[in-house]
């Protein structure tokens, strides 16, 4: 296919070429893969400034999206690649191939650096979904940081740079610039820009930015960072956000409230308890969805209110394909059971072939887990309705999953349904997602690309 770039795409490619270290914050649907590949082609096969490139991406994106993009565009003809995923033998075989690009999933970064026995001789690294390196304690972060000094060029790509707040940015930019802008140590970053917020004695649970710190952080990273919003550059269809209430009965609500207050409750003579606030939060989310794990992962059922709401939404779609986002395995099992009773054909978005089947537009219902399929998948051809059966606290996974449908190439109005169990933690999660979005939006606005200046 002939590549006719939008002006913003040419701008972004040019930015990568001119900045050996760059953070490119592209909202979903703006084509970050082809933008980056165009720059790689220039560096490898035109200017010969780069010899070997490593692309690090989420598993499905590494396996499907990057290879598909390389094969898709005519102007990338001649750019060679190998995908290093799968068994250790398959990964080693791919990494030993002499190609311009090696593509690996992020879970295998530690293996590549410390266990594969292969010399890390890449002079350019692309980190697709830079936000997946936001934890400075993770093995993938430590491993990549170990070899970062040997890399001449690095590009960080993401649409969700600070999904959990500004604290995320330190690790991401530590990988990119080795601490030049936000400091080499997280403790220095915290003390310079943040103050303790929630705490218990000497134990600090969270931090809040100091007055003026937010803008100082944006200023510090602005020289190597550009951001672009889909709404500024693409004529995307309308996106309708809908909250669908599900009401628990008085008895069901009593069980929920008892557990929330006492952190322990009995369901059918089985005791369900929560050891701490994090466990409590997870179990309350499960209860809001209709079931909860007890000891030994035994599922205890509470209600079908969300399943009833889901059935109504599918019926209301009048045959239009529907994508359903679930979180817990027992949610998936119960959704599948209900769909079978309704004689509705469905598929789970797991294997590569399911993407093509969904995009054919002939699948009434597809089931997707945000953590495994939230990044990089183009699902807009298969439908325009997404139903959130269960919610997640993660703004990143939430936005990325929504962007599977609301992206460039979508021809219809996108409808995002959220089934909210009223009077439960579901309402708190929706509020939290909206609050986090405000912080991230501020960052993106602060380093927004200015095409008028470029022109």
The reported pTM is 0.65
Containing 240, the helix (H) or strand (E) segment is strand 239-246
State the burial class of residue 117 (Cβ atoms within 10 Å of its Cβ: 0-12, 13-18, 19+). Answer: exposed
Note whether 7-233+441-454 and 235-247+305-422 share their fold: yes
Confidence (pLDDT) at 395:
84
Long-range Cβ contact pairs of 64-71 (< 8 A, separation 24 or more): 64/352, 64/355, 64/376, 64/377, 65/33, 65/376, 65/377, 65/378, 66/33, 66/37, 66/101, 66/103, 66/128, 67/103, 69/33, 69/34, 69/37, 70/37, 70/101
State how far the Cα of 64 lies from the Cα of 68, in Å rounded to an integer.
Answer: 6
CATH class of 7-233+441-454: alpha beta
Confidence (pLDDT) at 375:
55
**Predicted confidence (pLDDT) per residue in 374-402, tens digit:** 555 778 888 888 999 999 888 888 888 88
Q: Do strands 53-57 and 124-128 pair parallel, antiparallel, or not at all (unpaired)?
A: parallel
Domain spans, the chain: 7-233+441-454, 235-247+305-422, 249-302
Tokens of 199: 């705490």
Please state at what angle helix 277-289 crosses helix 250-262, rounded to 10 degrees: 170
Architecture of domain 235-247+305-422: 3-Layer(aba) Sandwich (3.40)
State how far the Cα of 448 lies from the Cα of 425, in Å rounded to an integer.
Answer: 34
Q: Backbone phi, then psi, for 190, in 5-degree steps?
A: -65, -45
State how far the Cα of 360 lies from the Cα of 349, in Å rounded to an integer.
Answer: 14
State how far the Cα of 448 lies from the Cα of 229, in Å rounded to an integer.
Answer: 8
Confidence (pLDDT) at 225:
92
Q: Backbone phi, then psi, for 234, in 5-degree steps?
A: -120, 145
State how far the Cα of 169 lies from the Cα of 80, in Å rounded to an integer.
Answer: 33
Tokens of 422: 């009223």
**Predicted confidence (pLDDT) per residue in 66-101, tens digit:** 998 999 899 999 999 999 999 999 999 999 999 999
The parts of the chain modelled with pLDDT lower than 70 are 28-29, 163, 230-231, 234, 263-278, 351-352, 373-376, 438-455
């Amino acid at each position: 296919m002939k590549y006719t770039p939008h002006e913003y795409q040419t701008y972004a490619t040019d930015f990568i070429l001119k900045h050996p270290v760059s953070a490119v914050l592209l909202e979903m649907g703006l084509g970050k893969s082809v933008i980056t590949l165009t720059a790689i082609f220039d560096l490898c096969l035109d200017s010969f400034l780069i010899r070997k490139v490593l692309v690090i991406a989420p598993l499905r994106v590494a396996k499907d999206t990057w290879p598909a993009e390389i094969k898709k565009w005519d102007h990338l003809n001649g750019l060679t690649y190998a995908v290093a995923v799968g068994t250790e033998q398959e990964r080693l075989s791919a990494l030993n191939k002499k190609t311009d690009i090696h593509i690996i999933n992020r879970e295998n970064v530690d293996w590549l650096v410390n266990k594969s026995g292969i010399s890390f001789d890449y002079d350019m690294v692309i980190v697709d979904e830079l936000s997946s390196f936001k934890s400075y304690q993770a093995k993938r972060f430590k491993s990549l940081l170990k070899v970062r000094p040997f890399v001449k060029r690095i590009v960080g790509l993401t649409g969700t740079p600070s999904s959990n707040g500004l604290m995320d940015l330190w690790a991401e930019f530590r990988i990119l610039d080795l601490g030049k802008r936000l400091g080499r140590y997280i403790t220095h970053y915290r003390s310079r820009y943040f103050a303790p917020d929630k705490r218990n004695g000497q134990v600090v649970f969270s931090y809040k930015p100091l007055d003026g710190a937010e803008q100082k952080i944006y200023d510090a990273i602005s020289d190597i960072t550009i951001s672009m919003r889909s709404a500024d550059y693409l004529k995307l269809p309308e996106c309708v956000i809908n909250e669908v209430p599900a009401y628990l009965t008085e008895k069901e609500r009593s069980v929920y409230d008892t557990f929330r207050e006492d952190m322990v409750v009995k369901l059918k003579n089985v005791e369900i308890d929560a050891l701490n606030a994090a466990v409590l939060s997870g179990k309350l989310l499960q209860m809001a969805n209709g079931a909860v794990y007890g000891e030994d992962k035994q599922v205890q059922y509470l209600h079908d209110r969300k399943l009833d709401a889901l059935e109504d939404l599918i019926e209301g779609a009048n045959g239009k394909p529907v994508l359903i986002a679930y979180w817990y395995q027992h949610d998936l099992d119960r959704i599948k059971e209900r769909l079978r009773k309704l004689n509705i054909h469905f598929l789970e978005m797991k294997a590569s072939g399911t993407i093509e089947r969904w995009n054919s537009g002939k699948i009434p219902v597809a089931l997707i887990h945000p953590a495994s399929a939230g990044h990089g998948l183009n699902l807009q051809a298969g439908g325009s309705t997404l139903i959130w059966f269960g919610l997640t606290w993660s703004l990143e996974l939430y936005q990325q999953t929504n962007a599977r449908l609301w992206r460039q190439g979508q021809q219809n109005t996108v409808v995002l349904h959220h089934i909210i169990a009223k009077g439960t933690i579901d309402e708190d999660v929706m509020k939290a997602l909206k609050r986090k979005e405000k912080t991230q939006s501020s960052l993106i606005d602060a380093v927004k690309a200015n095409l008028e200046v470029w022109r």
